[in-house]
């Protein structure tokens, strides 16, 4: 059986196949650049594992208190080496990226302190953590105030506004690398570095945290290479490589990580407890595979940008811009478009391909959200997935794909569902 015959059995028409192959042929030089970055990051990860003498005993789990968990402690040294930081906290007990960010913020902010976002509104789930939307146990409830400086109309930093916003109360600055549910640019590590340098020049004592979700291994550098005091992320996104079943990480200065560990467990106990149970092999192997997995996801994102831009849709980033995260946003303009796109992504999945995604209210979000993901790990957004809030401008956020080939299938299937619904013409 030929490849195109299999695609037809999966429901892909000849029109979509022809349209897709013409676009992909033109992308080969960009794909070579992505492979080069993946090779660099693969070498970086292997070097960190060898430097910290990873061995088979690291894969044995622990129970109870988890005292003297060699695998857990070594993995944290590996992460610190990869991100070039003094220390790291990498735990399966961190349930998601929002949890990791909440730990980092609450551990390093005290009553009377002020949190500043110089990149505008944060991701939806952080609104209740901060207290932008009222919630029990928010930073606001504990006496931490919040201030933000919106981006300029071209998506760049408002340096004058940031300078004026920094006051004696300002204690921690949070920078979200990825766009979240906004049609704004994601930031390169170089741009983040310039912003950190500007902030530190005004107040060297300020703590700068970067929400690194979706950005790990997309470039050869990370925000911690440019002076971030903490970089934070989820293991069911990029650095878990699709194998990590749960977890999050915080890498940074020893002072910041000590406080985060006290917040995660208890003051005075910190990193000494936390049994790893039976997940260590997956966390190590996932990190090992991550640079290659991220490369596949990036190729899928670039393919989707080129495909949908050529059909007249607004996409961010556009078809030619450099990539700083794995997320591709496509402004579909209607509820029907979001539904069709997500139906296509779900139909391409190896798991639950027969399920039809529908919008619903999810804890932490103010709007109904539609999510498509037939994933081996529930909610893993390094796996092929698409989601977005059901609100204007009806933008979908596509990401992931454990392999480039699966990401390609997902986009072709989304095009097919859009075509079938009469929303595009090829």
In this prediction, what percent of the chain has a pLDDT beyond 70?
Answer: 100
Residue 22 pLDDT class (50, 70, 90 cuts): very high
| Gyration radius of the chain over CA positions | 21
pLDDT digits (tens, 9 = 90+) for 93-152: 999 999 999 999 999 999 999 999 999 999 989 999 999 999 999 999 999 999 999 999
Model confidence at 364: pLDDT above 90: no
CA angle 183, 189, 191 (to 5 degrees): 70
Model pLDDT for residues 81-106, shown as the tens digit of each residue: 999 999 999 999 999 999 999 999 99
Through-space distance between the first and last CA atoms of the chain, rounded to whole angstroms: 26
pLDDT at 365: 78
Output the pLDDT for position 180.
83
Question: Is 63-278 a CATH 3.40.640.10 domain?
Answer: yes
Beta bridge partners of residue 330, listed in sequence order? 315, 396
Average pLDDT (279-290) is 98
For 412-420, what is the mean pLDDT? 98
Q: By C-alpha distance, which of 235, 213, 251 is closest to 84?
A: 251
- 3-42+288-420 and 63-278 in the same fold: no
Q: Please report the pLDDT score of residue 108 as a whole number.
A: 98
Burial of 335 per CB tally in 10 Å (0-12, 13-18, 19+):
middle
Q: Is cis: bond before 77, omega within 30 of 0?
A: no
- Tens of pLDDT, residue by residue over 37-58, are 999 999 999 999 999 999 999 9
Burial class of residue 283 (count of CB atoms within 10 Å of its CB; 0-12, 13-18, 19+): buried
In the chain, DSSP finds a helix count (H) and a strand count (E) of 12, 13
Domain boundaries, the chain: 3-42+288-420, 63-278
User: Cis ω on the peptide bond leading into residue 393 (within 30° of 0)?
Assistant: yes
pLDDT at 399: 96
Q: Please determine, for residue 361, whether its predicted confidence score (pLDDT) is greater than 90.
A: no
pLDDT class for 405, splitting at 50, 70, 90?
very high
Pairing of strands 87-91, 368-372: unpaired
**pLDDT (0 to 100) of residue 124:** 87
The pLDDT of residue 2 is above 90: yes
Strand 207-211 relative to strand 170-176: parallel, antiparallel, unpaired?
parallel
Query: Could you tell me the pLDDT band of residue 182, with boundaries at 50, 70 and 90?
Result: confident
Give the pLDDT score at 223.
Answer: 98
Spatial separation of the C-alpha atoms in residues 47 and 321, rounded to whole Å: 31
CA–CA gap between residue 426 and residue 409 (Å, rounded):
17
Secondary structure (3-state) at 388: strand
pLDDT in tens, 200-210: 999 999 999 99
Q: What is the largest CA-CA distance in the chain?
A: 69
Higher-confidence position of 367 and 16: 16
pTM of the model: 0.95
Whether residue 385 is predicted with pLDDT greater than 80 in this model: the reply is yes
Whether the per-residue pLDDT at 1 is higher than 80: the answer is no
3-42+288-420 to CATH, choices 3.90.1150.60, 3.30.565.10, 3.30.2010.10, 3.40.50.150: 3.90.1150.60
**H helix runs in 69-157, sequence order:** 70-82, 97-108, 126-130
235 — pLDDT class (breaks 50, 70, 90): very high
Mean residue pLDDT of the chain comes to 96
What is the three-class DSSP state of 37? helix
Closest by alpha carbon to 285, among 239, 250, 234?
Answer: 239
């Amino acid at each position: 059986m030929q490849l195109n015959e299999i695609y037809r059995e999966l429901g892909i028409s000849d029109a979509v196949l022809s349209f897709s192959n013409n676009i992909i042929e033109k992308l080969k030089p960009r794909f070579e650049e992505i492979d080069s970055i993946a090779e660099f990051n693969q070498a970086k990860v292997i070097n960190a594992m060898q430097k910290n003498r990873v061995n088979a005993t690291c894969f044995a789990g622990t129970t109870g208190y988890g005292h003297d968990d060699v695998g857990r402690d070594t993995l944290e040294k590996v992460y610190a080496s990869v991100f070039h930081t003094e220390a790291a906290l990498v735990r399966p007990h961190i349930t998601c990226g929002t949890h990791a960010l909440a730990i980092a913020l609450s551990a390093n902010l005290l009553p009377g302190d002020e949190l500043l976002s110089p990149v505008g509104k944060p991701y939806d789930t952080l609104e209740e953590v901060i207290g932008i939307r009222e919630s029990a146990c928010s930073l606001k409830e504990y006496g931490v105030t919040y201030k933000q400086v919106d981006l300029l109309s071209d998506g760049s930093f408002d340096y004058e506004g940031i300078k004026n916003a920094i006051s004696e109360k300002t204690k921690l600055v949070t920078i979200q690398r990825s766009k979240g549910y906004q049609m704004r640019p994601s930031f390169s590590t170089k741009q983040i570095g310039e912003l950190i340098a500007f902030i530190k020049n005004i107040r060297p004592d300020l703590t700068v945290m970067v929400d690194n979700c979706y950005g790990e291994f997309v470039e050869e550098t990370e925000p911690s290479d440019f002076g971030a005091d903490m970089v934070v992320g989820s293991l069911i996104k990029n650095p878990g490589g699709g194998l990590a079943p749960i977890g999050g990480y915080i890498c940074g200065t020893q002072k910041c990580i000590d406080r985060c560990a006290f917040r995660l467990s208890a003051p005075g106990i910190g990193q000494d407890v936390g049994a790893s149970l039976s997940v260590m092999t997956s966390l190590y192997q996932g990190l090992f595979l991550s640079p290659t997995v991220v490369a596949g996801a990036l190729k899928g994102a670039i393919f989707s940008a080129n495909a949908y831009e050529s059909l007249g849709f607004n996409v961010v980033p556009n078809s030619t811009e450099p990539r700083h995260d794995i997320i591709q946003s496509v402004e579909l303009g209607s509820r029907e478009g979001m539904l069709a796109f997500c139906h296509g992504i779900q139909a391409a999945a190896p798991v639950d391909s027969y399920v039809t995604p529908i919008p619903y209210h999810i804890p932490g979000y103010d709007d109904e959200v539609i999510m498509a993901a037939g994933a081996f790990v529930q909610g893993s957004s390094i796996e092929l997935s698409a989601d977005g809030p059901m609100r204007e401008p009806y933008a979908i956020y596509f990401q992931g794909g454990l392999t480039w080939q699966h990401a390609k299938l997902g986009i072709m299937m989304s095009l097919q569902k859009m075509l079938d619904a009469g929303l595009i013409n090829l």
